[in-house]
Structure 1
Amino acid sequence: MFRKTFRDLRKNWISFFSVFLMSFICLFIFTGIFHLSQQMDATGKQFSQNSHLADSTLSLTTFNDQKEQRTKELTTIKKVARRSIGHYQNDDLSLTFLTFNHSRLSRPQVIHGAKLSDQDGIWLDEDFFQANKYQLGESFLIEKQKYKILGTVRQPEFIYHTESDDQPLPNHKRSGYAYMSESQINSLPVYPTRQLLLKTNKENNTPWLEKELSDIWDADYLRLSHTSDSSGLSIFFDRVTQVQRLAFLFSSLFLLLTLITLEATMRRFVKQQQLQIATLKAQGFSRRTILLHYLSFGVIVTFLGSISGCVLGPKLLSPALLSAIGNQFSVPKWLEVQTTLGYAIVALVTLFSMLITLIPVLPLIGQLPATIMQRQSNQRFKRVWLEQTKLWSYLPFALQWTLRDIQRNIRRAILGVFGALGCMLLLIAALGIKDSIDFSLNSIFNDTYRYEEKISFKKSLDHQEQNAVAKTITTDHQWLEQQSVKLLQDSKEQAVIATIVSDGDQLKLPELDLEDLTANQVGLSEALAKSLNVKAKDTLYIKLQQQIIPVYIKKIVPLSAPQGLFFSENTWNDIGQAFEPQSLLLREKDQLAASPLIASKNEKQQQFKDSQKLIEGILMIVSLLILAALVLGITIMMNCHLLIFSERFIEFATLKVLGFTKREIFLLSFLETALLTALGWLLGLPAGKLFLTAYTAMVSTDQQQYLPHITFQSLAIASLVLFICMLLVQGYITVRINRIDFAVALKPAE
């Protein structure tokens, strides 16, 4: 039996290779992508742990020893450390300056040079240092003041660092961060914010802590923010979540299709082996021996395929993906991780293969040899219901023959339809992801953002300063203010971005005109509305400067970015807030003269290009999924139609004996293949779009919602690929039909 197993595997290698290939692809993609997500997650968490990252940051106008001591005495506070932070910018560089403390809280990791100390000098961001090719010991010039470069550092809060929120892609040559002593930062031309770094207990209640801190610090209190909500860390861990979801969602679909392909392969193989099964039983082989023999086919093939993918995925795929995604993030080094989940999936796939193999084998081995042989002959069927209608006589013979065969073998026909449906579903999902990302970016930069240049100021501008700037502008413009507000729901607080704009259309929201908002009316982004489980005309409560204010949701806004709440200038004023914008949106470029107030100028076209570069790593994974979809699609269809052929080869042999030409038999076979493929194609269109919608919702983040979209071109490509696959499968089936030995095929089994 052992020799028979490998002899049968060799004779039927094409069929079993398809199962091997699918199980290999399934585990190769899953373990490769999942290992990458685990590697990123472990690196980010270890980096934060080594730096003893603070849980929260309390921003203040000034330090006060007595108030700081009262803060330390709070029951929820474990550790407190001081830090000052300020931003410096000129035409050549943009640096965030921080002071270090002798506490271990949020302490940067020194990469090169001297340890942090109170000596005069500066420690530069490692990436900024390398990009500008500085040398340790040389002087770093700021406003004619020289600072000796003592070392380089990395800090997890800046794991993903950009000059501003308007710069989606890091530019290490221009922007970075630096550490220096408290005495030195006061000599810089910056206005530092004072901060207390807080390490809290696990049972900390954030709203209550915020109230206690605001009571202690009173007018000096600015805001309390969670370190994990900082842009660098949140973007990094959002990307980890995206990669994990890519691994699980597509691999689960691949696994399902692999098991269905295995079921079709084993059913066809057992159908061909019925005579041998009967012979083995007649020769006295036990049911257990025969069952183990046929179980071994599925176990050997799926185990070898899945274990190969499990081993090679982390070794080949993960490094390739990390080279595309990892260079966007600043970490000391990427950790090597080991995970057993891939091997657990291998065991699960192997177990499923055994269970699936039982489906066609168990009904046979429990019967007498004579009965098994009889089942190999043609079965007799009654007329199907369609033959009773008047329409039947008007149908051509080929169509009658095809419809009769489909009605008599519904299960087999469903499998053929499913093969085409699965192929179409994979292609639409894979091509649709790229289209959805492109569509979302185009929606942001063409429909929502209608400005050509965005001016960011070093500080918020009051009404007089706005008027002074506006007098120098001749083009259409719109003022923009963005604030972090606390949204209250079910005794929980959530930090969201409030976007406030003046009259104008440089920021245009779909289905909502901000100028129509009155009183306390606001717009709410669709992704945030879904996460909060709220709808239009509901009332939300926000907290501003310790005041709780109700706002009425006038419209749910379906847009990709920005996410959050949307106010008009009038609505913002109506709830008692002063409109003090930090940005100006211009219809035309280069309309504002140089001014000390200006922090940066950002062209929309450059922002669009940077956003495209930002998603190159994700698009690399998408390209891999498209290739996998193509391979799996062909494999699925091939197995499904080979099963149909194995159950109909006696019919084809009979037609040859009756005098049907090769062309006529080809047309009969092609008609059924085309009919089942067309039906699968029709069902695959809505199924693929539903899957795409669910997938884009899963990979969207708090900062950006991907809008599900697939172009007509992608649908046409997916359809063309499907029908090319059908022709390839039909070509192989035709070769098999021409090779039928009808004398053997028609030999009575009994």
Structure 2
Amino acid sequence: MVRKTFRDLRKNWISFLSVFLMSFICLFIFTGIFHLSQQMDATGKEFVRDSRLADNVLSVTSFNAEKEQEINKLENVKQVARRSIGRYQTDQFSLTLLTFNHSAISRPQVIRGAKLTDRAGIWLDEDFFQARHYHLGETFLIENTSYEILGTVRQPEFIYHTASEDQPLPNHKKSGYAYLSQQSFEHLRLYPVHQLLVKTKKNSNTPWLEKELADIWAADYLELNQPQDTSGLSIFFDRVTQIQRLAFLFSSLFLLLTLITMEATMRRFVKQQQLQIAVLKAQGFSRRMVLLHYLSFGMIVTLFGASLGCLLGPKLLSPALLTAIGNQFSVPAWLEVRTSLGYLMVAVVTLLNMLITLLPVLPLIGQLSAKIMQKQSNQRFKRVWLEHTKLWTHLPFALQWTLRDIQRNRRRAVLGIFGALGCMLLLIAALGIKDSINFSLDSIFNDTYRYEEKVTFKKPLNAQERTATAETITDYQWLEQQNIKLLKDSEEQAAKATIVSDGNELAVPALDLQDLAANQVGLSGALAKKLKVKPKDTVYIKLQQQIFPVYIKTIVPISSPQGLFFSQAVWENLQQTFEPQSLLLPKKDQLPEMPLIASRNDKQQQFEDSQKLLEGILMIVTLLILAALALGITIMLNCHLLIFSERFIEFATLKVLGFTKREVLSLSFLETSLLTLIGWLLGLPSGWLFLKAYVAMVSTDQQQYLPHITFQSLTLASLVLFGCMLLVQAYLNLRINRIDFATALKPAE
């Protein structure tokens, strides 16, 4: 039986190749994508652990030694350290300057050069250092003061570092960070932010700690943040979660398709070996032995394909994806990881394929040998319901023949439909994700952002400074963005408040900010869905330990920015001072240069930088298209080969009765086309639903992409699908032309 197993595999290798390919693709994609997520997760956690990242960062107006001692005495606090942050801006680059402390909290990792000391020098961000081609010992100028470059560092808070929220992707040549001693920092004319890095005990209560710190610092208290929620680490670990979800999403889909392919292949194979099964039983082979023999086909082919996919996925797919995605993040080195989940998936896929093999085998081996030997053609079929209608007589013979066959073999027809549906679904997802990102970016930069230049200042401006700044311009709009806490069902959710003055440079979809009254606000759709908030609901926000109720006037369908939207009047109605950090201008270079300006952002440049996001997903898009092609050709070929194996007697009979070769081939083509057309029609809504799920997974809390697919992409997906159908039909035509009519019509007896 073992020799027969391998002999049958060798003779029917084309039939089992589809099962091998599908099981290979399933594990190749899963292990490749999941291994990438595990590699990123392990690298990020190791980076955080080595730097002993602070659990909380307290921003205060100024340092106070006595109050710091009070913090150290709190029950849940282990250690406190000082840090100051400022921004240095030139025409060529933007640099975030930080002071280091001699504690181990949030300590940067030195990559090259000297260790951090109080020497009068500077330690540059490693990526910034390389991008601008600096050298150790070289002089670095800040405000006409020379600093020797003593070394380079990496810090986990800057694992995904951009100069501002207006820069969608890291650009290490234009933005970076650096560390100075406290003494060197104080000599610079910056607008510093004073911070206390707080390391707490495990399971500490953050809201209670926030209350204690607010009581200690009183009017000097500004805000308390968790680095993993407010820095690049949040984006990094969000990306890890997205990649894990994608791994399970696509592997689940391909697992389902693998099982369907296996069932179709084994059904066709068992049909071909019907006579051999009867002979084996007649010769005394037990039912168990015959069953194990046919189960071994599913086990061998699936185990080999899945194992090869599990082996190659982490070695080929993961590095390729890491090259496309990993260069956005700044880490010391990507760690190598090992996980046993891939091997577990191999066992699961193999076991499920063996179980699915039972469906066509079990009903047959339970019968007597004489009954098994009866040909399928000897079975009697009832008339289908269409034949009892008046419409039937008006249909052409080819369509009657096709509809009768489909209705009598519904399972086989469903398989053909499902193959076309799955192919169309993956093609829509692949082409649609690119369309969705383009559509979202167009929505942001054409509909929401109507300004041409965004001027950001070194510090928030009070009313007097705003008046002096805007005295030479007429059309403009002030913008303030603040981190707030949203309270829902006794839970706190970090969110961003966007507050604007009168103007038209920032347009929020479905909401006129100037019509907001009292405490009315708009809430972004993604955040509303996350918090399960509806229009006309009342939620509570926390601002510097004060809690205010706000009324959700509408849910805003916006890609970016996310959070709550206030008008200046509503914000001031909540007893908050309007101190914007940015000015939105309808034309470039309206505002003359002044010392308070930190940066100028051209909207067109922002748009071009944002489009680079597409580069990171082109690899996944290509992967999906290739998978869709493999899926479409494999499943449709399997389905129509099953149709051919069950109907080659009918093809031979039609030929003997005088039907021409062209007429016989047209009957096969009609059925193939009809099943593909139905699958295409069902694939359109299914693909759209899958695209929505896919887009939701690649979106983040900061950037929500809007699902969209263009007519051109739908046309291309449809052409690819029907191209696959034509390839399958061309192969079927070869098989039909090679039918030995005498052998096909020979009775089984």
**Fold equivalence (TM over 0.5):** yes
Instruction: Give distance in 1, aligned partners of 2:676 and 2:326.
Output: 41
Task: Map 1:453-464; keep pairs closer than 5 Å.
Answer: 453-464=453-464
Further displaced range: 89-98 or 12-21? 89-98
Residue 96 of structure 2: aligned partner: 96
Instruction: Give distance in 2, aligned partners of 1:84 and 1:208.
Output: 25
Instruction: Give distance in 1, aligned partners of 2:327 and 2:698.
Output: 21
Instruction: Give distance in 2, aligned partners of 1:293 and 1:450.
Output: 69
Residue 340 of structure 2: aligned partner: 340
In the TM superposition, residue 348 of structure 1 has moved relative to its aligned partner by: 0.8
The superposition leaves residues 461-484 of structure 1 with CA deviations (integer Å, 9 ceiling, x where unpaired) of 12222222222225x321111111
Instruction: Give distance in 1, aligned partners of 2:581 and 2:97.
Output: 20
In the TM superposition, residue 744 of structure 1 has moved relative to its aligned partner by: 1.8
In the TM superposition, residue 698 of structure 1 has moved relative to its aligned partner by: 2.4
The superposition leaves residues 478-531 of structure 1 with CA deviations (integer Å, 9 ceiling, x where unpaired) of 111111111111222111000011122211121111111111100000000000
SS at match of 2:378: coil
Instruction: Give distance in 1, aligned partners of 2:320 and 2:600.
Output: 35
Paired residues of 1:19 and 1:301 also in contact (CA < 8 A):
yes
Paired residues of 2:140 and 2:149 also in contact (CA < 8 A):
yes
SS at match of 1:542: strand
Task: Map 1:619-698; keep pairs closer than 5 Å.
Answer: 619-698=618-697
Paired residues of 2:324 and 2:616 also in contact (CA < 8 A):
yes
The superposition leaves residues 310-346 of structure 1 with CA deviations (integer Å, 9 ceiling, x where unpaired) of 1111111111111121111111111011111111111
The superposition leaves residues 49-106 of structure 1 with CA deviations (integer Å, 9 ceiling, x where unpaired) of 0001111101111222221111111112122122222222222332212121221111
Name stretches of at least 5 consecutive residues in structure 2 with no aligned partner.
none
Instruction: Give distance in 2, aligned partners of 1:510 and 1:119.
Output: 53
Paired residues of 2:156 and 2:233 also in contact (CA < 8 A):
yes
Residue 298 of structure 1: aligned partner: 298
Task: Map 1:313-392; keep pairs closer than 5 Å.
Answer: 313-392=313-392
Paired residues of 1:435 and 1:710 also in contact (CA < 8 A):
yes
Give the alignment's TM-score, normalised by structure 1. 0.98
Paired residues of 1:376 and 1:749 also in contact (CA < 8 A):
no
Residue 182 of structure 2: aligned partner: 182
Residue 735 of structure 2: aligned partner: 736
Task: Map 1:107-186; keep pairs closer than 5 Å.
Answer: 107-186=107-186
Aligned AA (2:656): V
SS at match of 1:261: helix
Q: Does 1:515 align with 2:514?
A: yes
Instruction: Give distance in 1, aligned partners of 2:21 and 2:566.
Output: 54
Aligned AA (2:536): K
Residue 402 of structure 1: aligned partner: 402
Instruction: Give distance in 2, aligned partners of 1:677 and 1:203.
Output: 57
The superposition leaves residues 213-242 of structure 1 with CA deviations (integer Å, 9 ceiling, x where unpaired) of 010111211110001013311111122222
The superposition leaves residues 558-598 of structure 1 with CA deviations (integer Å, 9 ceiling, x where unpaired) of 11111000011111121111221111111111111111111
Size of the aligned set, in residue pairs, is 749
Paired residues of 2:80 and 2:197 also in contact (CA < 8 A):
yes
Residue 494 of structure 1: aligned partner: 493
Instruction: Give distance in 1, aligned partners of 2:431 and 2:400.
Output: 37
CA separation of 1:171/1:700 partners in 2, compared to 1, >3 Å: closer, same or farther? Answer: closer
Paired residues of 2:429 and 2:691 also in contact (CA < 8 A):
yes
Instruction: Give distance in 1, aligned partners of 2:612 and 2:352.
Output: 41
Instruction: Give distance in 2, aligned partners of 1:241 and 1:291.
Output: 43
Residue 87 of structure 1: aligned partner: 87
Instruction: Give distance in 2, aligned partners of 1:293 and 1:615.
Output: 49
Instruction: Give distance in 2, aligned partners of 1:661 and 1:85.
Output: 84
The superposition leaves residues 158-213 of structure 1 with CA deviations (integer Å, 9 ceiling, x where unpaired) of 11111111111222223211112222211112132221111122322222111110
Aligned AA (1:315): K
The superposition leaves residues 530-549 of structure 1 with CA deviations (integer Å, 9 ceiling, x where unpaired) of 00001000001001122111
Instruction: Give distance in 2, aligned partners of 1:254 and 1:505.
Output: 48
Q: Does 1:224 align with 2:213?
A: no
Instruction: Give distance in 1, aligned partners of 2:697 and 2:144.
Output: 51
SS at match of 1:374: coil
Instruction: Give distance in 1, aligned partners of 2:57 and 2:401.
Output: 76
Instruction: Give distance in 1, aligned partners of 2:726 and 2:615.
Output: 34
Aligned AA (2:588): K
Paired residues of 1:295 and 1:357 also in contact (CA < 8 A):
yes
SS at match of 1:97: strand
In the TM superposition, residue 375 of structure 1 has moved relative to its aligned partner by: 4.7
Instruction: Give distance in 2, aligned partners of 1:713 and 1:90.
Output: 44
Paired residues of 1:439 and 1:707 also in contact (CA < 8 A):
yes
Instruction: Give distance in 1, aligned partners of 2:534 and 2:192.
Output: 41
Aligned AA (1:275): L
Aligned AA (1:106): S
Residue 211 of structure 1: aligned partner: 211
Residue 615 of structure 2: aligned partner: 616
Q: Does 1:606 align with 2:605?
A: yes
Instruction: Give distance in 1, aligned partners of 2:327 and 2:37.
Output: 15
Paired residues of 2:419 and 2:631 also in contact (CA < 8 A):
no
The superposition leaves residues 21-59 of structure 1 with CA deviations (integer Å, 9 ceiling, x where unpaired) of 111112112111111111111101100000011111011
Instruction: Give distance in 2, aligned partners of 1:450 and 1:230.
Output: 27
Residue 573 of structure 1: aligned partner: 572
Paired residues of 2:266 and 2:357 also in contact (CA < 8 A):
yes
Instruction: Give distance in 2, aligned partners of 1:242 and 1:86.
Output: 33
Instruction: Give distance in 1, aligned partners of 2:746 and 2:289.
Output: 28
Give the alignment's TM-score, normalised by structure 2. 0.98
In the TM superposition, residue 615 of structure 1 has moved relative to its aligned partner by: 4.0
Residue 483 of structure 2: aligned partner: 484
What is the alpha-carbon root mean square deviation over aligned residues? 1.4
Instruction: Give distance in 1, aligned partners of 2:620 and 2:397.
Output: 48
Instruction: Give distance in 1, aligned partners of 2:359 and 2:82.
Output: 68
Residue 449 of structure 1: aligned partner: 449
Q: Does 1:542 align with 2:534?
A: no
The superposition leaves residues 373-396 of structure 1 with CA deviations (integer Å, 9 ceiling, x where unpaired) of 115443111222211111111111
Residue 595 of structure 1: aligned partner: 594
Paired residues of 1:325 and 1:617 also in contact (CA < 8 A):
yes
Q: Deviation above 6 Å: which 4+ runs of structure 1?
A: none
Paired residues of 1:422 and 1:636 also in contact (CA < 8 A):
no
SS at match of 2:307: helix
Residue 564 of structure 1: aligned partner: 563
Paired residues of 1:58 and 1:224 also in contact (CA < 8 A):
yes
Residue 199 of structure 1: aligned partner: 199
In the TM superposition, residue 109 of structure 1 has moved relative to its aligned partner by: 0.6
Q: Does 1:702 align with 2:701?
A: yes
Instruction: Give distance in 1, aligned partners of 2:15 and 2:504.
Output: 61
Aligned AA (2:699): S
Paired residues of 1:85 and 1:98 also in contact (CA < 8 A):
yes
Residue 526 of structure 2: aligned partner: 527
Overall identity of the aligned pairs, in %: 77
Further displaced range: 88-97 or 712-721? 88-97
